[in-house]
Amino acid sequence: MNKIFATIVLAAFALSSCIKEDDSYKELLPLRPGMNIYSMTMTQNAVAMQPANAGIRLAMLLAEAAKQYPETELKDVDLTKLKIEGNSNSVMTLLFTAGTKIERQADGDYKITYNGDYQQYDGFFLKGSMLVKTGGVEQLKDTNGSQTWQVEIEEGLTLSARDVNGLIQVNMEGGSTTLYNEGLSYTISLSGISASFENASVSSSWRGDFSLRGVNADLVYSECRGKDFKVSGEASGPSVYVGSDSSNLRLGYYLSSGSVYRSGQIIEGTQECSFESYNYDTSGYPSPDVKYVWSNDGNKLYQKIYYNGYVYPKN
C-alpha cells in the first residue's frame, strides 16, 4: 500500500523527535500496525488538503497586501514585492516557496502555479496549477456561508515526495474545496477530492470538514507568522491506498483541540485514525483504530500512542 510514500511525507512526525532514547524497540512492536494506519491516514488527508492549503495561504498574502497598502486597490498591488521587517524574502516566497507564480484573473480569481522545483513546508513538491475562485470577494475574512471561495484543481497538477530512489508521484485529479469565514473561525470543506498514485488502479474520493482559527482574525501574514493555528474537524472516504480486494481502502480521521504549526505539524491535540472498510489484513492489523495524543512544553514535542490496548510511552 505504498507505505514508503507515507513515511517520507510524514517525516515531520518522525518518532525520533518524541521517543526517549532509553525506550526499547520491543515496546513499539505491538503498536506498529497502528502507526501504519496513522501514516496512511495522515498522508491521505495531507494530499487532499493541498487545495485548502493553497487557498488559506493566498488569503494570508492578500490580507498582508491590504495591511501594507490600505489606500491601494488590491488589483494594483504587486504581490511579489511584499516584505516584512527582518526578512529579506518576499511574503509570497515565505508562504508559497520560491518559484511559485500567482496571477490575478480578470474576474478577480487567482491562478497559483507551482514549478515543482521547491519543497513545501509540509514536505511535498507541487507541480501544476490551482485556481482560487473568489466569487468577487477579495478577502477571505469578508466571505460567509453563501459567499465562499472555491479552490479548483487544474488538469495536470501533481504532488510528489522524495525517497532514496527519486520522486514518488501523486496525480491530483479533481474535487471541490470551499473556504469561508464563519465568524470565530474559518470553515474548510472538502468534497470528492480525487487523487491517485502514478500508475495506480484506484483514485481517492475524500471528504471532510475542518475549522481553522489564527491569532489574527483577518489572517494577516505578519500577524500570524510564527504562531500556531487552532484546527479541529473530521474527514473520511475511499483513499489512495489499495485494500486486500484491490479496491480502495476507506480511511477515517478525527482531530480535536488541535494546534498546528505552519508546516502542518500538529503540536497539541488528539488525532484518531481508522480503517473504515474491512478489506485489510486483519491478521496484520488486530485493531482498525489508533489514537495519537500530542502535547508540548514550549520547547519539546510529546506524543502518546494508543493502539489495541497498548500505550506508548507508558508513562
Task: Check whether residue 123 and residue 202 sit in a common domain.
Answer: yes
Point out the domain boundary residue: 204, 222, 240.
Answer: 222
pLDDT attached to residue 214: 92
pLDDT of 131 higher than 70: yes
Backbone phi, psi, residue 203, to 5°: -125, 150
Task: Check whether residue 208 and residue 78 sit in a common domain.
Answer: yes
- pLDDT tens across 253-293, in order? 999 988 887 667 899 999 999 999 999 999 999 999 999 99
Task: Check whether residue 275 and residue 183 sit in a common domain.
Answer: no
Point out the domain boundary residue: 222, 237, 261.
Answer: 222
pLDDT of 19 higher than 60: no
First to last CA, the chain: 33
pTM of the model: 0.91
Task: Check whether residue 34 and residue 87 sit in a common domain.
Answer: no
Task: Check whether residue 26 and residue 111 sit in a common domain.
Answer: no
Can you give the residue range of the structural domain that contains 107? 53-222
pLDDT attached to residue 23: 57
pLDDT attached to residue 122: 87
- pLDDT tens across 68-78, in order? 999 999 999 99
Task: Check whether residue 30 and residue 79 sit in a common domain.
Answer: no
pLDDT attached to residue 246: 93
Task: Check whether residue 239 and residue 177 sit in a common domain.
Answer: no
Nearest to 313 by CA among 25, 4, 46, 5: 25
- pLDDT tens across 205-259, in order? 999 999 999 999 999 999 999 899 999 999 999 999 999 999 999 999 999 988 8
The domain tally of the chain equals 2
Q: 92-120 burial, b for 16+ CB within 10 Å, e for fewer? A: bbbbbbeebebebeeeebbebbbeeeeeb
Point out the domain boundary residue: 222, 249, 272.
Answer: 222
Task: Check whether residue 130 and residue 232 sit in a common domain.
Answer: no
